[in-house]
Structure 1
Amino acid sequence: MKVPPDVESWLNLSLINGLGDESIRKLLIAFGSPTEILSADTYQLERFVKKQVAYNINRGADKSKVDAALKWLEDSFNFIITLADHDYPKLLLNIADPPPLLYLKGQRKLLNAPALAIVGSRNATPQGIANAGAFAEAASNAGFCIVSGMAQGIDTAAHQGGLRGISASIAVVGTGLDIVYPARNRELAHLLAKDGALISEFPLGMPALGRNFPRRNRIISGISLGCLVVEATLHSGSLITAKQALEQGRDVMAIPGSIHSPLSKGCHTLIKQGAKLIENIQDILDELNCQPALAHGNINVTIDFSESQENSILLPHLGYDVTDIDTICTRSGLTVEAVSSMLLTLELDGIVASLPGGRYQRIR
Structure 2
Amino acid sequence: MDERSVAWLSVGRAAVPDSVKQAVLSVFPDPIDALRADVSAMGSNRQSMAPQQTLDSFVRHDEMRRDIEWLSAPGRSVLGFSDPRFSRLLREIPNPPTVIYCEGELALLGQPAIAVVGSRNPTPVGCESAMRFAGAIGDHRVTVVSGLALGIDSVAHRGALDTAGSTIAVCATGLDMVYPRCHRNLAREIKESGLMLSEFPPGTGVRRHHFPQRNRLISGLSLGTLIVEAGLGSGSLITAGFAADQGREVFALPGSVNSPLSRGPHQLIRDGACLVETPSQILEALCLAKVEKTGHDPQVDKPARDGGILDFVDFAPTPINEIAQRSGLTIAKISAMLIRVELQGLVKTCAGGYIRLR
Q: What's the TM-score once normalised by structure 2's chain length?
A: 0.77
Pairwise CA distance, 1:249: 1.2
Asked whether the equivalents of residues 11 and 55 of structure 2 are also in contact (C-alpha less than 8 Å), the reply is: yes
Q: Which residue of 2 aligns with 1:51?
A: 49
Q: Compared with structure 1, are the counterparts of its residues 279 and 42 closer, same or farther at alpha carbon in structure 2 (3 Å cutoff)?
A: closer
Q: Which residue of 1 aligns with 2:8?
A: 10
Structure 1 unaligned blocks of 5 or more: 298-364
Report the AA paired with residue 268 of structure 1: H
The whole-number CA distance in structure 2 between the counterparts of 1:53 and 1:267 is 51
Pairwise CA distance, 1:293: 2.1
Q: Which residue of 1 aligns with 2:332?
A: none
The whole-number CA distance in structure 1 between the counterparts of 2:257 and 2:215 is 27
3-state secondary structure, aligned to 2:79: strand
Pairwise CA distance, 1:53: 10
1:61 aligns with 2:59: yes
Q: Compared with structure 1, are the counterparts of its residues 73 and 42 closer, same or farther at alpha carbon in structure 2 (3 Å cutoff)?
A: closer
Report the AA paired with residue 130 of structure 1: E
Q: Compared with structure 1, are the counterparts of its residues 49 and 223 closer, same or farther at alpha carbon in structure 2 (3 Å cutoff)?
A: farther
The whole-number CA distance in structure 2 between the counterparts of 1:157 and 1:25 is 35
Report the AA paired with residue 26 of structure 1: A
The whole-number CA distance in structure 1 between the counterparts of 2:262 and 2:115 is 18
1:257 aligns with 2:255: yes
Asked whether the equivalents of residues 81 and 99 of structure 2 are also in contact (C-alpha less than 8 Å), the reply is: yes
1:163 aligns with 2:155: no
The whole-number CA distance in structure 2 between the counterparts of 1:22 and 1:238 is 26
1:27 aligns with 2:56: no
Report the AA paired with residue 264 of structure 2: G
Deviates further, 5-14 or 111-120:
5-14
Q: Deviation per CA, 1:180-219, whole angstroms, max 9, x where unpaired?
A: 0001101100000111110000011111111111011111
The whole-number CA distance in structure 2 between the counterparts of 1:42 and 1:275 is 42
Alignment of 1:191-206 (within 5 A): 191-206=189-204
Asked whether the equivalents of residues 221 and 245 of structure 1 are also in contact (C-alpha less than 8 Å), the reply is: yes
Structure 2 unaligned blocks of 5 or more: 296-358
Alignment of 1:79-94 (within 5 A): 79-94=77-92
Report the AA paired with residue 23 of structure 1: V
Q: Deviation per CA, 1:335-361, whole angstroms, max 9, x where unpaired?
A: xxxxxxxxxxxxxxxxxxxxxxxxxxx
Q: Deviation per CA, 1:140-164, whole angstroms, max 9, x where unpaired?
A: 0012110000000000000000111
Report the AA paired with residue 12 of structure 1: S
Report the AA paired with residue 75 of structure 1: A
1:39 aligns with 2:36: yes
- 1:152 counterpart (135, 150, 153): 150
Q: Structure 1 vs Structure 2: percent identity of aligned residues?
A: 39
Pairwise CA distance, 1:97: 1.2
Cα RMSD, aligned residues only? 2.3
The whole-number CA distance in structure 1 between the counterparts of 2:4 and 2:168 is 26
Q: Which residue of 2 aligns with 1:331?
A: none
The whole-number CA distance in structure 2 between the counterparts of 1:32 and 1:113 is 23
Alignment of 1:1-364 (within 5 A): 2-3=1-2, 5-17=3-15, 19-40=16-37, 48=46, 50-51=48-49, 57=55, 59-294=57-292
Q: Compared with structure 1, are the counterparts of its residues 138 and 58 closer, same or farther at alpha carbon in structure 2 (3 Å cutoff)?
A: closer
Report the AA paired with residue 274 of structure 2: K
Asked whether the equivalents of residues 36 and 54 of structure 2 are also in contact (C-alpha less than 8 Å), the reply is: no
3-state secondary structure, aligned to 1:268: helix
Q: Compared with structure 1, are the counterparts of its residues 181 and 49 closer, same or farther at alpha carbon in structure 2 (3 Å cutoff)?
A: farther
3-state secondary structure, aligned to 2:114: strand
Q: What's the TM-score once normalised by structure 1's chain length?
A: 0.75
Q: Compared with structure 1, are the counterparts of its residues 219 and 266 closer, same or farther at alpha carbon in structure 2 (3 Å cutoff)?
A: same
Asked whether the equivalents of residues 40 and 46 of structure 2 are also in contact (C-alpha less than 8 Å), the reply is: no
The whole-number CA distance in structure 2 between the counterparts of 1:123 and 1:241 is 17
Q: Compared with structure 1, are the counterparts of its residues 273 and 42 closer, same or farther at alpha carbon in structure 2 (3 Å cutoff)?
A: closer
Greater radius of gyration (CA)? 1
Q: Compared with structure 1, are the counterparts of its residues 45 and 115 closer, same or farther at alpha carbon in structure 2 (3 Å cutoff)?
A: closer
Q: Which residue of 1 aligns with 2:351?
A: none
The whole-number CA distance in structure 2 between the counterparts of 1:32 and 1:110 is 23
Q: Compared with structure 1, are the counterparts of its residues 289 and 103 closer, same or farther at alpha carbon in structure 2 (3 Å cutoff)?
A: same
The whole-number CA distance in structure 1 between the counterparts of 2:252 and 2:95 is 25
